[in-house]
Structure 1
C-alpha cells in the first residue's frame, strides 16, 4: 500500500468507531442521493469507499432482492463498524482499494461514492478504475451530505476554486476518465455530481 493510501486508512481507522454517532442525521440525504442514481430492481451496484455502510440499506431497497450490492472500503475498521451495524445484511462487504477493484470489466451497473473523491490520492487513476468496472451507459454518483462551502466551514477553512469538487475541475476530470457529467448540485445540504459511463 502506498503512503497516500496508508494515510487515508489511518485517518478512517481513528474515526471508525465514532463515525455514525458524529453524523446521525445523514440518512435522508443518502437515501435521496441513491434515488437520484436511478437504480432498477436487479441492478448491480458498487458502493465505493462504503465506510460504515450507510448507503447499503437504500441501495438494497433500490435494487431489490434480485440485485447485487457490493460495499468496498480500504479500512478494515470501517467495514467492522458496517458489520456491527448489521449493514452486511444489505450488501457484500469487500476489503479493497478503488485503484484495483476485484471485479470484472463492465460487471457493475452503477457506482455510489459518498465522500470518496476528497480522499483519492490519484483521482484520475481511481475514477478510471471505477469506469472500468461499470458497463457503458452505467452511472456514477459522487455524493457528500453537505456541500463544498458548508464542509469547508465545518473544517475551519475557506472554499477554493482549485478544489477537486468544483464543477470547473470535476467535469474535465470525469471526461478524461471515461465519464460524462450529467448533473451537478452543490448546495449547503448536499453535494451530488452524476455521470454516465461513456461507451
Structure 2
C-alpha cells in the first residue's frame, strides 16, 4: 500500500507561556523537543495507522531562541518509509504576534517504528514521491542512514584506529595523556 505524504502531514501551533521558559527567560529546549516528539508520533501513527515509538532523533540544532508570548508552529511530514520504520521531518518556526516576524528555530528527523498491540514491529505503507523535493528528502534520509552506519562502525571499540584521528585532535581543547594503549 502507498500513501501520499499529504495524507499524514500534521501542523500544530501553540502559544509559548512563561511556564515553558528556562532560567534565561527563553523557551526551554526540552519543552520544544517534547513537542517535536509528539508531532512526529502523531504523523507516523497517522501514516501507519498503528502506534509508533521513537527509535532515534537525528541532530537537533537550536538555531534561534523562542520568546515567551510567541506562537510556535511545528510541521511534520513523512520523508522516508522503510519496512517498519519511517523518517519524519519536523520543522519548528516561531512567530512574534505583535510584529508578525517569523523565525526558523530548528528542524530534525525522527525515526519512528510502527508497533502492533503486542509491541511487535509491523510493516508501514510506502509513500508516493510526486515532487522533486520529496525525492530529495527520501534520498537524503537514505544518505543519513548510511552515514550513521559508518559512524557507528568506525568508532566501535574493536574497530577504532586512534592513529587515524590524532591529526584532527591537534589544536583542540584537549591533551592526550594515555595511561594505557587500549
TM-score normalised by the chain length of structure 2: 0.24
- Quick check: which has more Rg, 1 or 2? 2
Which has a greater percent of helix? 1
TM-score normalised by the chain length of structure 1: 0.23
Higher relative contact order (CA 8 A, sep 6+): 2
Which has a greater percent of strand? 2
